[in-house]
Structure 1
């Protein structure tokens, strides 16, 4: 059976001296990571589940790798989760212990759990030759909790085969090899930062450099000193675009050179506005590619490294992934590439999760009778098979005046206006139109926001008159979660 992390199977192999992970000044080679994780794995053997206090540190990497080596499902915990939600996750997942760094202060919700401090400095002799058989591909590897936007968070059970399938599909799409050095600053309690950003490099036998805290200076430093790939979310790329600006910022020149020299710039977790795509490409000559995935399915589509970056598209389905667009009643669109055709994305393949922990009802509701997963995401399909995400079915599809309108294209049009710094679009009930389009705008100059009529006319001229906002509301900032996604339900409230 093929190991999930083959480079860690033999701590004395060719990759032993290669740097596996780096957090600031703290680095672990493959030999050191294998020794530390195997020593911890020997202590975890037989545990039902373990929670991992997922701080952006080497301790989190050692803890997760140890659980994977021992065949014990790990539950990554967001250190910023509130007490009530954390108590729900702990009660629902029922871990036997929590793994944490020795200096971590844990909240009261974890008081009843046995605590195991993670030692990243274990010697290679600590395991005394103990071997760990590779678990079944269907065995649970991680239980990752959803954001809980429609109720208490649900634990998505991710089997080992889903992780392997997604990472191997990205190896093909992005020509990802052991020579790549990935730079990122994503949180390690989520699939983007943990599975793609840590397990991805480790499965390839490459390296990951975690910034700890995102900064343009950190990106420039690490990409400029050997980094080949950058993973980020739209908020991060927006800040990079702002730093690049017109080139006058003190660190703009170094950042420009570093981004231009990277092999691959990847954005995910939400749509990257076209305006930021264009600003980065204009300054560096390097386009940003996007991919589309979610907790329950890991990666579904991706723009290929050997293709042209195309702002607004998340690429074609990855190898092994089946994808279709369906009507509201679940029937596939007759012609998904027809102009104006919008449908919900459904997927199936080896990348899809097993189900929700302790929630057979939610699991059954998430799948069709013939095994397709209902993503709740709305999209259009280009004639070449590339997917364009419109948004979430519940919050981003607006039915106005007989039209199905995606919030994303209106947001991109608004962001093209010089007076708009940030924008989000939602729908509200309207007695005449069914729903009216509402724009939530953060002005570039709070003292002189662009007039509502001017923004409506701008959108009408950019895309279509029926897609113009009927109401504009001005904010100081848009509400976002830890991954930088705009929380539209909070806008409505």
Structure 2
């Protein structure tokens, strides 16, 4: 695993972005300070998708579970720097396991519950886990059967839940020796610069890339959420995103650590359960995909059933935000939608109300210089250095309206992909900037970045680049559309034309004119208008809720071939 060099570690510590506390240390501080505060709450429908009764753990109760699991891992032979691959839904055991691993210095590599043998076998080859943890029951998937089929002799199967198979180590029942745990921790101290997680990129094809992140990498990125979102000590946070990626770990869990709050878990996403949790748990903060917020704001019947008054802020990202949605939540409910844009590699752009008070601007722009106070205190300063460079190389872009790939350098950024030196070399510039693969333009008199799209998703129509994300964002306010995704449609004359896959809000077909007239009213350039519509039942999305445009394109082409 690649580690940061000594010069970088020293600089980031001096600035306050990095420190000496591991995530286990930070949790122990909270548990000592707020022993009776509610720390962790399971979803009320937990038994429907997994197993067992929903748990409501105080910090003292959570600490007992974390220490039990840490001791059990040691008893099972898991040691410092060993990799534990985990495939669990959002249940309290998953959070407890993270901090148990942090206590002994083990590395957690979380896998999406949707992954099967193809993805898991490739991931195991990369990280070579010493243990694989899954539940004995999960609605919609046989995690036990899949794990047993892909694990090698050097990887031990561990389970949570009833009826553990004979070849598994039952973490629900196992205990460890507290004295042995204390002795091991004293003899094997964990450094905040040690790798704590290996998450996975959201690639749509092939085996995802492993992204190692240290305790300090996670600490550094936390101010990007709790600062702009205005989170306060003890706040309740509703977390519907899987505990496997930047949004859930960096956005919610790290903020939860910072404010010693209550984390309410949710899985899988169910609007009725989600709204019921808002009503019963009274969170001050939650995160939600843009499509969900668009749907909610336009569903009067659903809105009448829930009291949103406890919520101050909602974080949203993974796709462009519709300005009408961001403004609607602010005007109607007084709820601030914070625009989040990030990746497991540590790229992070955030637009909160202090930096950008206007909701229309907040939906569309990110400050080019994000000034935050570091986690460990000190003077507020830019969290990262950024620049735009033409995707094919060249001089830095300094004028408005010219698309370029975002490069970023700072304490939140990882050091390189796991066991992939060639991919790492391709991902970084010679002077150490991470090449995000995201296209932005300078806007707002030079103050902002405006997201244009992914480098590989750009539609090239007659030699002119068109951002599909820009079209998606504008269509987010269309009253007849539940979902829409623009994509490149092959064309013998223009090279590519603009195709649009859509899901109607009502059970009816839309005409091309209804779509283009709406976009013309938004003053979109004519050459960017969709030229062919394709109706879908649902747009294919990856585990981080991003539209998989390559799959949309393949399906659309198949539809055309079926017509001929």
TM-score, normalised via structure 2 length = 0.78
Distance change >3 Å, CA 149–CA 234, structure 1 → 2: same
The structure 2 residue matched to 1:444, chosen from 495, 500, 505, is: 505
The structure 1 residue matched to 2:385, chosen from 322, 329, 352, is: 322
CA distance in 1, matches of 2:436, 2:545: 20
Q: CA deviation digits over 1:366-393, x for unaligned, max 9?
A: 0010111111111122235332211111
Corresponding residue for residue 300 of structure 1 = 348
Q: Please list, as runs of the form range in 1=range in 2, the aligned pairs for 1:482-493 lying within 5 A after superposition.
A: 482-493=543-554
Measure how far apart 1:58 and its partner are.
0.9
Answer yes or no: is the 8 Å Cα contact 1:223–1:229 preserved in 2.
Answer: no
SS of the residue corresponding to residue 473 of structure 1 reads strand
Q: Please list, as runs of the form range in 1=range in 2, the aligned pairs for 1:31-430 lying within 5 A after superposition.
A: 31-42=60-71, 43=74, 44-46=78-80, 48-101=82-135, 106=144, 107=146, 108-112=148-152, 113-117=155-159, 119=171, 126=178, 130=182, 132=185, 135-224=190-279, 225-242=281-298, 245=299, 247=300, 249=301, 251-255=302-306, 257-258=307-308, 260-297=309-346, 299-306=347-354, 307-308=356-357, 309=359, 310-318=362-370, 319-336=382-399, 338=400, 340-382=401-443, 383=445, 385-395=447-457, 397-430=458-491
Measure how far apart 1:14 and its partner are.
1.8
Higher mean displacement: 20-29 or 282-291: 282-291
Distance change >3 Å, CA 197–CA 146, structure 1 → 2: same
CA distance in 2, matches of 1:164, 1:12: 18
Gapped runs of 5+ residues in structure 1?
A: none
Higher mean displacement: 282-291 or 55-64: 282-291
CA distance in 1, matches of 2:369, 2:105: 30
Distance change >3 Å, CA 267–CA 121, structure 1 → 2: farther
Answer yes or no: is the 8 Å Cα contact 1:178–1:206 preserved in 2.
Answer: yes
CA distance in 1, matches of 2:204, 2:350: 25
CA distance in 2, matches of 1:11, 1:35: 14
Aligned length: 481
CA distance in 1, matches of 2:536, 2:272: 29
Higher mean displacement: 46-55 or 136-145: 46-55
Gapped runs of 5+ residues in structure 2?
A: 1-19, 44-53, 161-170, 371-381, 555-564
The structure 2 residue matched to 1:19, chosen from 33, 38, 42, is: 38
SS of the residue corresponding to residue 23 of structure 2 reads coil
Q: CA deviation digits over 1:201-246, x for unaligned, max 9?
A: 024321210123333444444434431101122233234224xx3x
CA distance in 2, matches of 1:440, 1:416: 16
SS of the residue corresponding to residue 149 of structure 1 reads coil
More helix by share: 2
Answer yes or no: is the 8 Å Cα contact 1:49–1:96 preserved in 2.
Answer: yes
CA distance in 2, matches of 1:305, 1:252: 24
Measure how far apart 1:93 and its partner are.
1.2
Distance change >3 Å, CA 481–CA 220, structure 1 → 2: same
CA distance in 1, matches of 2:540, 2:30: 45
Measure how far apart 1:411 and its partner are.
2.1
Measure how far apart 1:267 and its partner are.
0.5
Higher mean displacement: 228-237 or 414-423: 414-423
CA distance in 2, matches of 1:80, 1:465: 40
Answer yes or no: is the 8 Å Cα contact 1:35–1:123 preserved in 2.
Answer: no
Distance change >3 Å, CA 138–CA 116, structure 1 → 2: same
Distance change >3 Å, CA 11–CA 128, structure 1 → 2: farther
TM-score, normalised via structure 1 length = 0.88
Measure how far apart 1:190 and its partner are.
2.2
How large is the Cα RMSD of the aligned pairs?
2.8
SS of the residue corresponding to residue 432 of structure 2 reads coil
Measure how far apart 1:457 and its partner are.
4.0
CA distance in 2, matches of 1:46, 1:390: 42
Distance change >3 Å, CA 294–CA 151, structure 1 → 2: same
Distance change >3 Å, CA 102–CA 178, structure 1 → 2: farther
